[in-house]
Amino acid sequence: MRMNGKLFSCFSLSLVLFLASSVAQAAAAQVDPMNQLNVNLKKVATDNPDAAKDGSHDATNEGTLVLQAPKAAFGAFVKSDFGNRVDWVQTLRSGKINPRADRLDPNAELDTVDFNIHRPVKGFMPDVIFPHKQHTEWLKCQNCHDSIFIPQKGANKISMADILQGKKCGVCHGKVAFPVKTSTCKKCHSQKKDTAALIKKLSAQ
Amino acid sequence: MFSKIILRGASKVAVLSVLVAIVWFAGDRAAHAEYGDVVINNYSDKIGMRPAVFPHWFHRIRFRCSVCHADLGFKFKAGGNLINMEKIMNGEFCGACHNGEVAWSIENCAMCHSGTPGTPTQIHNSTAQRLVAPAYKAPGAK
């Protein structure tokens, strides 16, 4: 009797699974591809692919297979869930990498500065706090000043459209430093506002 | 016995539909290249060389950004430096290190000229490449 019960539950489970999968398949066959989920989503299929499979390298070129594979290099690095999947700032601070600050001198160091710039922004977006520290651990002042940013508070007009088009912060962010996407907004827009007061103010208008 | 067969069949169908879904969603919309890799094809295609592919991440592990972008004068622009082999031989741009002293020397053509022919100059997987619609402009913005 117990055996029969087991058999029955097994049978009904398989029936449900079978029906569910065939219903899903039938549904997928009927829905026009244009109406499928995420038609516009440009998904990264493989993180850190080898050079031979990354879509830009020619696998038939003799040198391609000699190149170091990103995955082999990144093994012990601090992880993130965007860009290279590497948190470069934390990886540098952890000592897992020790990139030279000079082409020839392995002991050269960069002059880091540690002060933040507060940039008020409109609406409900949290204000931007720009930290000089992380940036000067990698870069020299002249990399940004004055060609990209005027070194004067409030003198730089920055918009997200500029950044997305590769200007201002977008010279690096979105290309080689962490990209612009939902999960990274708060890395820059990090100072929360009094949203209740803002709602009150906007509702009174 | 009968239920086992059905279960096996159902799980096969389930696995198959998951696979179909993965292939469907990951197919041609997927970006593969490593984030930040630069393809430089100002002249290569026209000359009959494979375009050069610069692995940003590899260099970043070994050098701070400032070494190339401040000390060596690389502009922050894919294809914007108009690098050619004469400049490299003269010790400019890549030639500052790829001289057999700091890094391997330039007779190893295939190490850089490794791109698929016809690949245009670009930064792979950039935010701009992955935008679904053009960048937003506020009403009235120029």
The mean pLDDT of B103-116, rounded to a whole number, is 96
Estimate to the nearest angstrom the gap between the alpha carbon of B110 and the chain centroid: 16
Q: Do the domain assignments include residue B115?
A: yes
Could you tell me where the beta strands, DSSP code E, fall in chain B?
38-40, 52-54, 122-123
Q: Do the domain assignments include residue B140?
A: no
Q: Which residue of B has its CA nearest to A181?
A: B127
Cis? peptide before A146, omega within 30° of 0: yes
Domain ranges across chain A: 2-35, 76-205
* Number of Cβ within a 10 Å radius of residue B137: 10
- The residues, any chain, with a CB within 8 Å of residue B44's CB and separated by 6 or more, are B50, B51, B52, B113, B115
Of A42, A54, A103, the CB nearest to B71: A103
Distance from CA of B78 to the nearest CA of A (A): 10
Q: Which residue of A has its CA nearest to B1?
A: A7
CATH number for the region A76-205 comes to: 3.90.10.10
Residues of chain A found within 8 Å of residue B2, distances taken between Cβ atoms: 11
Under-50 pLDDT residues of chain A: 1
Q: In what order do the strands lie in the sheet with A127-131?
A: A116-119, A127-131, A189-191
CATH of the domain at B61: 3.90.10.10
Q: Do the domain assignments include residue B112?
A: yes
Q: Do the domain assignments include residue B2?
A: no
Q: What is the pLDDT of residue A55?
A: 86
Q: Is A114 exposed, middle or buried (0-12, 13-18, 19+ CB in 10 A)?
A: exposed
User: Residue B44's domain spans which residues?
Assistant: 38-127
Contact B14 A21 (CB under 8 A): yes
User: Quick check: B107 pLDDT over 60?
Assistant: yes
Q: Most B CBs within 10 Å: which of A50, A57, A86, as the mutation test of the B interface? A: A57
Contact A46 B76 (CB under 8 A): no
Q: Do the domain assignments include residue B15?
A: no
Contact A10 B72 (CB under 8 A): no
- In contact, B124 and A56? CB cutoff 8 Å: yes
Residue whose structure tokens are 């009904």? A12
Q: Do the domain assignments include residue B60?
A: yes
Number of domains chain B contains: 1
The mean pLDDT of B23-28, rounded to a whole number, is 39
- pLDDT, averaged across chain B: 84
Residues of chain A found within 8 Å of residue B62, distances taken between Cβ atoms: 97, 99-100
Amino acid in position B131:
L
Q: Return the percentage of chain B with pLDDT > 90, whole number.
A: 63
Q: Taking the model in full, what pTM does it have?
A: 0.79
